Chain A
């Protein structure tokens, strides 16, 4: 089936990309200001003869009385030690600074970029050699060396350019090398090799495009450095006497008594010029860096957003009035969480989710990536990232509403009431502190009366023992533990303050099946021994079947089905639950074909109207696209949000 439309021309691709880059760059204030600053200077440099009131180095009407004249109508910026107009000299000086800066930087970038690329790509002995050499050149003080070299050769503009260029490549080499190394070890390079690409192809097609942005940012910084160095050299008396750069102007002014006469204009003006160039380039460099390598400007300690209560309760509470009253530890009612984004509608990550958790109960929270399960869990303890905001609902922990607490009060509940085992314990432990230390920290924080002597150590050992970690591991660092051990250490830490509820967020996802079995067994054991209530977040139905008492199935941020585990597996009523179960490999029927659900989960900032599962639902009908189904109650402990189950029991 041939379509008649041609595939987009690649030239359009490049212009499209450049336009896109320009659009993003424009939003960056720093970069734009920097660009403007440099732009003005470039224009001044180009049109210097037209702008300057006097010819360069003109001694037109210069008399003895003209030396160090303050700013006046004839000389807007005053005169210097030779009676020349400072404004004109300044304007022409722009040329010198920019030319030296650009050419010297050019040399440095070529050398540094090539060396860095070769070192990073080839690795091994070549890398070692080049890096050693670079390290030596970095350690040797650059300015004294430059001074020495220029002093020994003739101080001409060309010499200065060459020397500055030849010594300015070290940072560039390091930066390019580390970027090359990073790119080289990325999977797509391996993949390219896997299809038979040779070195040259890999460098030109894969490595260079990713090194270029870094190089561009470096180039800007190298130019600013070169300009600074040239000014410094000129000031120290090593400038080219025939080219009046700003540094040279300062050299003359300083050395010829501007200070004692009080001729501040002769000292200020050239300096301001240098600052203008360097600042402009620095801002431009920062701006480029932010655009090319965007980093989140927020972190975990950025203050969170206030809780809002919308009081919208149209969707019915998931609370079942005749649930066997036991000790209800956690009662979540109509919790809704949004992620706020600038200039765009918020992503409705969690909408009206309710559930309860009793002592000793193990609830499985199931759903695909992006369905909101982690967001839901983080919001219970208000650990959301700075863009997250609770916009509805309450979280009752032992009768206290957590959403109404302030940070201090919340800190008391955290860990000692409810603790979390995070997904992927790789980085959830501080790498520069021992594991034992991090566990005892929790104890000290929440149990201030706990004796700080060796009984504390014993308690830590006891906890480690509980999860099957030998006591001598207490003094080791996280990187000395294997993946499974780290996860178990996280569990030990989560239990340190005897919490009533533990949230386990996909604790076994990245682990081997044997280790997973160990950990599941451990959690189940602990639950029975300590009476813990556990919420187990996962996308693995098999795990849920093995150990959970009840299941909350989420899809696209809402509750799809909420029931006890037998019901979920034997009589699932929501089409999504039904499909999930069908998609899971069943070992009793090894040759059964896996059926899959076509399509992909919805994007939370572009949700469909109506039921969120409608685009993929095998049982969809018209109403599903228009109206979002409320949570229907199907029994004591069975809820499903689907139009099909309306009115049934």
Chain B
């Protein structure tokens, strides 16, 4: 109103139509580049955590106290733990980096990166199988679980949230809000335990992804079997996360419904349903997409807990087991895979948002 501190060009037309396409591509490229950088950061972080923190992995991973010193040394060489971490890091004096006569490519870090690029994630201390192999099977199980859970919780959360906002301050709204707050306060693993307890009374499977021997069943029956196993874990996941989406959708829609253009729509004689459909929903979904994106990191934590309780063979369970057995390569590999998956999913959500919001194009 009145004073414009930072004057904007009045005639925007010629600049935006030609620039909007250019801008959008630029934005896309920038986001992809950023995602790659984040992955790099995670790789470096991942590496250093495991090498730098106290608790020599070799000693921790090789717990048998009967091992003699030479055996320990042999194992260290086998796992490449005798090489310098990176340049002269051992001396902890970065200044000396230059004057070190260590082949930088022969350091633990670069070996690690080189292996990564070849899809080589190390060897499990516990089973001696390549980590990549072990986790490869599990990655898809986790994605299946999280995928199903997210889709259900988003869908249900949006529906509940819309209803709650629409009928604001009525008993429907109050019920939705209270139940969402309670659901949100439940520890994921505990809800899993309770559901497992009840589920066992109804004959639902207690653990795992499939009944032993199910691979011999016909395909449809196999899927049915997996679905029965997936039921409780997915239910747990959905209850926890739909609560948050309900609350977010409700508050976002309430904000939108208070905007002036909704009054305009009402003045135009549009029915409530029409207004919700054509004016409010899209605007209210945008913040939700952002929240979903931000939340992805947290949902993985939920997956870890659920998989542990239900013994669902995913990356989360791998972490749980690796912690118990101090199997550090598995732990490191699982963490890396999870982080990279989340970064990708986050990028996708971000790109979706860019496409949905017309205002973003011209910024």
Contact = CB atoms under 8 A, between A and B. Distances in A.
Please determine whether chains A and B interact with each other in the same assembly: yes
Interface of A: 135-136, 138-145, 147-149, 151-153, 224, 228, 231-232, 235-238, 247, 250, 254, 259, 264, 267-268, 271, 274-275, 278-279, 282-283, 286, 295-302, 381, 383, 408, 410-416, 419-420, 422, 424, 426-433, 441-442, 445-446, 472-473, 476-477, 479-480, 482, 510
A427 B200 contact: no
Most buried by A among B54, B197, B264: B264
Interface of B: 1-2, 10-13, 16, 38, 41-42, 45, 49-50, 53-55, 165-166, 168-169, 181-182, 184-190, 193-194, 196-197, 200, 254, 257-272, 274-276, 278-279, 282-283, 286, 294, 296-298, 300-301, 304-305, 308-309, 319-320, 323-324, 326, 328, 331-332, 334-335, 338-339, 342-343, 346, 357-359, 362
A282 B185 contact: yes
B18 to A, nearest CB: 13
Given A148-B331, A275-B185, 17 more contacts: A139-B38, A140-B42, A141-B301, A148-B335, A151-B323, A151-B326, A232-B187, A275-B190, A410-B269, A424-B1, A424-B260, A428-B261, A429-B261, A432-B358, A472-B13, A479-B359, A480-B362
B331 A151 contact: yes
Contacts of B323: 147, 151, 236-238
Given A268-B194, A420-B267, A477-B358, A299 B304 contact: no
Given A143-B301, A432-B357, A153 B54 contact: yes
A267 B53 contact: no
A283 B267 contact: no
Contact of B268 (A274, A415, A432): A415
A445 B268 contact: yes
Contacts of B190: 231, 250, 271, 274-275
Given A141-B338, A274-B190, A298 B168 contact: yes
A278 B2 CA distance: 48
Contacts of B332: 148
Contact of A432 (B11, B12, B283, B342): B283
Contact of B297 (A138, A413, A446, A472): A138
Given A140-B339, A431-B359, A510-B2, A411 B168 contact: no
B319 A147 contact: yes
A430 B279 contact: yes
B342 A482 contact: no
Contacts of B298: 141-143
A413 B197 CA distance: 59
Given A236-B308, A383-B267, A415-B267, A250 B193 contact: yes
Contact of B258 (A140, A299, A429): A299
A424 B264 CA distance: 12
A163 to B, nearest CB: 11
Contacts of B181: 279, 282-283, 286
B283 A414 contact: no
Contacts of B16: 480
B283 A138 contact: no
B53 A152 contact: yes
A288 B166 CA distance: 24
Given A413-B269, A445-B268, A299 B168 contact: yes
Contacts of B274: 445
Given A232-B188, A427-B260, A430-B261, A300 B266 contact: yes
A408 B298 CA distance: 46
A174 B49 CA distance: 25
A474 to B, nearest CB: 12
Contacts of A302: 168-169
Given A271-B194, A383-B266, A477-B359, A299 B257 contact: yes
A290 to B, nearest CB: 11
Contacts of B359: 431-432, 477, 479
A298 B170 CA distance: 11
A224 B45 CA distance: 27
A429 B359 CA distance: 14
A482 B13 CA distance: 10
A573 to B, nearest CB: 35
Contact of B196 (A147, A151, A259): A259
A138 B263 contact: no
B264 A429 contact: yes
Contacts of A140: 42, 45, 297, 339, 342
Ranked nearest first, the 8 interchain pairs of A and B with the lowest CB-CB distance are A143-B301, A299-B257, A414-B269, A141-B300, A279-B185, A271-B190, A278-B185, A427-B260
Nearest to B363: A479
A480 B262 contact: no
Given A232-B305, A236-B323, A415-B267, A259 B197 contact: yes
A301 B169 CA distance: 12
Nearest to B302: A143
B335 A153 contact: no
Given A140-B339, A148-B331, A473 B13 contact: yes
Nearest to A274: B187
A144 B334 contact: yes
A476 B361 CA distance: 12
Nearest to A254: B193
B187 A228 contact: yes
A480 B304 contact: no
Contact of B271 (A147, A148, A411, A442): A411
Contact of A264 (B197, B260, B297): B197
Nearest to B361: A477
A488 to B, nearest CB: 14
Contacts of A419: 267-268
B300 A139 contact: no
22 contacts: A138-B297, A140-B45, A144-B334, A231-B189, A232-B187, A254-B193, A259-B193, A259-B196, A267-B194, A275-B187, A278-B187, A295-B254, A297-B169, A411-B269, A411-B271, A415-B268, A415-B269, A416-B269, A473-B13, A480-B16, A482-B11, A510-B2
A237 B286 CA distance: 39
